[in-house]
Amino acid sequence: MSYNRHKEENKETTRNRLIYVNGTLSSTLELIESYDYRRMWGVDLPDYYSRLKRGDLLPLTDWLKYTARGETSMSYSLDYQDSAYTQTCNWTPIPGSYLPTTSELHRVANLYDTSPYVQQAASDIYSSGWDGLTFAAEFTQVIAMFKNIVQRMIRLLARGELDKIWLEARYGWRTLLYDMNDLADLVNNVEKRTRFKESSGSTFNYTESKSEVSALGGACTYTVNVTDTYVIGLRGTVVADIEPPSIVINPIVTAWELTTLSFVIDWVINVGNALGALSFRAISGNYVAAGGHSVELTRVVSIDDVTWSTGWTGSCDGYGTFVATWVSRTPASIPYLPQLLVNLNLAKVFDLLAILRQLIQRR
């Protein structure tokens, strides 16, 4: 394998004007700078195209790309009169150094682990069939849901027990619908697949702000405000030459699914995914896996609170916007142990509230 690097850079500066009159610096400056950077690194596979044509299972190699673009605009005017000398200044209140660097984005990417998503992708491949054993074990509960459904719903509504209706809809009827869809796929998919690819992931975002005081020589001081907004995407991918069971009969997986509140535990430490991934590894030795990061940083820079020193007058203004992205892929292994993966959304918050209400009522 070989290591390749590709780099393109473009920097453009326009509209820069300084004026000197009778030994007095009376300067007006308008400056717009635009930046456009692209860098890519990757590992090349030998005989890639011939192996791809043969249908080989190719490894997911190291690869990353860094892109950045930005534009800053600023303007100022200065006036200072001194019979003894003329003071001159070169000022760029928002320089290109505010353009996010690869090390900044890489540092953020390293804070997040993609192992839980690699594990989930492997589990999804194994469980792509119909879970016949779990369905059979829950069949009596399915029949109970159909019995006197109208009268039961009316009774629950009359009692104000909306939590029971919510949980039955979420973990009774919705689960049954998924099971029926899986069964339909089993019946309709007559053709056997031997290569599976699954990906799993999630997205996080947060904002950081900071301010710092800077100076233009002895002319003035000003505050630079920087607001960084991060969007972090995490992904795990598994590609395997495998024939997962069309009808899943796995007593260990079924036992976990039937454990009370096991689905709540899976929201934090996903035992279900770990069992599915272990089952995947037990029937497949020919697979490749990788974890992926994407970090997008939008940086907004502005200046305010300009304070002029004695003898100086003028005005200044500045604004800059920078957007940089870091996308990487790294070969990975499938973890054996359950992974910490806090997976909560608004619907699951309602689930927790409904479960807590029922637990309190039972006391």
> Comparing 142-156, 257-271, 273-287, which segment has the lowest mean pLDDT?
142-156
Q: How far apart are CA 363 and CA 359, in angstroms?
A: 7
- Of 74, 67, 64, nearest to 35 by C-alpha is 67
Q: Give the integer Cα–Cα distance in Å for 221 and 223.
A: 7
Please name the residue that has the structure tokens 């690819």: 197
pLDDT at site 306 = 85
Residue 346 has pLDDT above 60, yes or no: yes
Q: Are 276 and 123 in contact (CB under 8 A)?
A: yes
Two tokens at 203? 């997205």
- Phi, psi values for residue 165, rounded to 5°: -65, -45
Q: What is the pLDDT of residues 25-75, one digit of tens each?
A: 334 444 556 667 677 788 878 888 898 889 899 989 998 899 888 877 766
The residue ranking higher by pLDDT, 21 or 292, is 292
pLDDT at 227 (0 to 100): 95
**This prediction's pTM:** 0.78
What does the angle CA 352 – CA 357 – CA 362 come to, to the nearest 5 degrees?
Answer: 125
Residues 6+ positions from 227 with CB-CB distance below 8 Å: 207, 208, 209, 299, 300, 301
